[in-house]
C-alpha cells in the first residue's frame, strides 16, 4: 500500500506543512515565527496492554506474555501569542506533531511499530503556582507491525487521550507526568482487528522557546466571548457539508462463518448544523447517509473441492444507511473534535445497526474548508469503519 511505502521524513514533512498551512487562515497574513511560542518534549511511556485479545496476551514464543509495552516520544508543539485574536481566546492551547517508537517485547511476533501523530491540548486547572492539570488528544498512524492474531495489518490508526500533570520549574522548563490511554487498530480494514489498548504513564520534560508571552502566569488570563455573544442566533449557526469515503473488510455468517479480507468501498454525506455556544463548544444535529458495499452480503453457493464460497450483494438501497444524530464539538485553533450519537431511520437486513456513534476530527486548511477524519462505531459487531473526507463550512460573518 502507498501508506506503507511513505518514508518517515515525508510523513513528518507533510503533517508539518499541514500545520503551518492551517495557521494562515487564523491571521490576515501568515504569522511570523517569533510571534509563536515553541516547545520540544521528550517522553518515555511504560504501559499496560489491556485485555482485548487473549491470543495476543497468551503468545509465549519465549514463555512471556505480552501484557506490557514501552514507548519513546519526541514532540514539537506551538501556541499562539496571547496578544493575538486567537491567542486571547485560547491562551493555553498548544498543538503539534509527535513521533513515537513502541516495543511490546517480542519484535518477531508484533514488530516494533513507529507512530506519527498530531496532537492538541490545553490547561484545565491549577493546583498551585507550580502544578497544573490539562487535557490532550492525539491522532495519527503507526506502521511496522507484524500481522498476527490480534491485528492483521502492517499499519494501524492511533488514537490517544491524556491528562497531563505539568510541573512548571521555570519559564523555560516543565516536568511532565501524563496518564494516557492509547488505542491502536486498523479500523476494520482487515480482520482480525482486536487492536491494542494501552494504559500508560508518560514521563518527560519540555523545553519552551520564545515563550515570553507565557512567562506571566498564563493561568491568570481573563477572556470573554463578547464578540460571539453580540451575534444573533443565526450568526452563531454554522452548516458543515462533508463528503467522505473509506473501505473495510467484512465477515458474516449463514450456516457457516466467513471472513472476506478484501477492501469493500464505502462513502457518505453528512449535513451538520451546529450552534456555537462559545468559542470552545458547539452543539447541533446532523443528517448522515452512508453507502457501504460490505453490508448484507450473502453466500449463494460453495465449492467443496476448492473450499471457496460465492458471495453476492443485495441492492444498493439495502446497503445504504440514512440516520440523524446529535453532535457536540470541542473547538480550538485549527482543529475541532466531535462526537455524535445517531439513530438509523431506515434499517435493512441483519448488518445494519439501529444505533451508531461517530467520532470525528476536523482540521481546517482555510476558514471554510477542512479535512475530515472520523470513525463510525455501529451497535452491530464487525460493521465499524473509518471515514476520510473533505468538508465545507457555511456561516454568516
Count Cα neighbours of 148 within 13 Å in the Cβ-side half-sphere: 23
317: pLDDT strictly greater than 80: yes
Q: How far apart are the C-alpha atoms of 169 and 241, rounded to whole Å?
A: 46
126: pLDDT strictly greater than 50: yes
310: pLDDT strictly greater than 70: yes
Equal CATH topology for 2-220 and 226-395:
yes
- Which carries the bigger pLDDT value, residue 254 or residue 201? 201
Sign of the C-alpha dihedral, residues 278, 96, 268, 375?
A: negative
Using one digit for the tens of pLDDT, what is the confidence trace for 57-101?
Answer: 555 555 456 788 999 999 999 998 877 778 888 888 999 999 999
Determine the Cα angle at 250 with ends 324 and 193, to 5°.
95
The mean-pLDDT minimum among 11-20, 40-49, 106-115, 158-167 falls in: 11-20
Most confident of 54-63, 239-248, 302-311: 239-248
Determine the Cα angle at 139 with ends 135 and 217, to 5°.
30
Asked if 360 and 377 touch (Cβ cutoff 8 Å), the reply is no
Which CATH number among 2.40.160.20, 2.60.40.420, 3.30.420.10, 3.30.70.1450 corresponds to the domain 2-220?
A: 2.40.160.20
252: pLDDT strictly greater than 70: no
List CB contacts of 162: < 8 A, sequence separation 6 or more. 121, 135, 136, 137, 138, 178, 179, 180, 181, 202
- Which carries the bigger pLDDT value, residue 189 or residue 157? 157
**What percent of the chain is predicted at pLDDT more than 90?**
49
Residue-range domain boundaries for the chain: 2-220, 226-395
Asked if 81 and 45 touch (Cβ cutoff 8 Å), the reply is no
- Which carries the bigger pLDDT value, residue 22 or residue 247? 247
pTM of the predicted structure, to 2 decimals: 0.83
CATH code linked to domain 226-395:
2.40.160.20
Which band of pLDDT confidence, cut at 50, 70 and 90, is reported for residue 28? very low
Can you name the residues that pair with 287 across neighbouring β-strands?
A: 271, 324
- Mean per-residue pLDDT, 35-47: 93
- Mean per-residue pLDDT, 102-121: 92
Q: How far apart are the C-alpha atoms of 298 and 15, rounded to whole Å?
A: 41
Q: How far apart are the C-alpha atoms of 140 and 117, rounded to whole Å?
A: 4
The mean-pLDDT minimum among 20-24, 110-114, 161-165 falls in: 20-24
Using one digit for the tens of pLDDT, what is the confidence trace for 225-238?
Answer: 556 667 788 889 99
Q: How far apart are the C-alpha atoms of 263 and 271, rounded to whole Å?
A: 26
Amino acid at each position: 500500500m502507498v501508506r506503507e511505502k511513505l518514508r518517515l521524513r515525508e510523513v513528518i514533512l507533510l503533517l508539518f506543512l499541514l500545520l503551518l498551512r492551517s495557521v494562515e487562515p487564523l491571521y490576515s497574513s501568515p504569522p511570523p515565527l517569533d510571534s509563536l511560542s515553541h516547545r520540544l518534549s521528550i517522553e518515555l511511556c511504560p504501559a499496560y496492554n489491556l485485555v482485548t485479545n487473549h491470543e495476543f496476551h497468551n503468545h509465549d514464543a519465549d514463555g512471556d506474555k505480552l501484557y506490557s509495552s514501552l514507548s519513546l516520544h519526541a514532540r514539537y508543539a506551538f501556541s499562539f501569542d496571547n496578544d493575538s485574536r486567537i491567542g486571547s481566546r485560547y491562551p493555553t492551547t498548544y498543538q503539534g506533531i509527535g513521533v513515537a517508537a513502541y516495543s511490546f517485547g517480542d519484535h518477531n511476533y508484533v514488530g516494533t511499530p513507529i507512530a506519527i501523530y498530531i496532537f492538541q491540548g490545553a490547561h484545565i486547572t491549577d493546583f498551585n503556582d507550580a502544578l497544573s492539570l490539562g487535557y490532550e488528544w492525539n491522532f495519527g498512524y503507526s506502521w511496522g507491525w507484524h500481522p498476527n492474531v490480534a491485528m492483521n495489518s502492517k499499519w494501524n490508526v492511533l488514537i490517544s487521550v491524556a491528562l497531563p500533570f505539568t510541573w512548571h520549574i521555570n519559564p523555560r522548563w516543565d516536568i511532565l507526568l501524563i496518564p494516557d490511554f492509547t488505542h491502536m487498530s486498523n479500523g476494520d480494514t482487515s480482520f482480525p482487528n482486536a487492536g491494542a489498548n494501552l494504559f500508560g504513564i508518560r514521563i518527560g520534560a519540555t523545553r519552551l522557546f520564545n515563550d515570553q508571552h507565557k512567562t506571566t502566569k498564563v493561568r491568570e488570563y481573563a477572556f470573554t466571548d463578547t464578540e460571539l455573544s453580540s451575534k444573533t442566533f443565526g450568526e452563531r449557526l454554522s452548516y458543515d457539508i462533508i463528503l467522505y469515503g473509506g473501505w473495510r473488510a467484512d465477515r458474516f455468517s449463514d450456516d457457516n462463518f466467513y471472513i472476506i479480507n478484501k477492501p469493500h468501498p464505502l462513502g457518505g454525506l453528512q449535513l451538520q448544523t451546529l450552534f456555537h455556544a462559545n468559542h470552545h463548544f458547539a452543539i447541533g444535529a446532523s443528517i448522515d447517509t452512508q453507502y457501504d458495499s460490505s453490508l448484507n452480503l450473502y453466500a449463494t453457493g460453495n465449492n467443496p473441492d476448492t473450499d471457496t464460497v460465492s458471495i453476492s450483494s443485495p441492492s444498493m438501497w439495502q446497503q445504504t444507511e440514512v440516520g440523524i444524530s446529535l453532535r457536540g464539538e470541542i473547538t480550538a485553533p485549527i482543529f475541532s473534535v466531535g462526537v455524535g450519537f445517531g439513530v438509523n431511520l431506515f434499517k435493512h437486513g441483519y448488518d445494519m445497526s439501529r444505533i451508531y456513534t461517530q467520532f470525528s476530527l476536523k482540521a481546517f486548511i482555510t476558514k471554510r474548508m477542512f479535512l475530515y477524519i472520523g470513525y463510525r462505531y455501529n451497535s452491530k459487531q464487525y460493521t465499524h469503519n473509518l471515514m476520510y473526507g473533505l468538508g465545507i463550512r457555511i456561516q454568516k460573518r
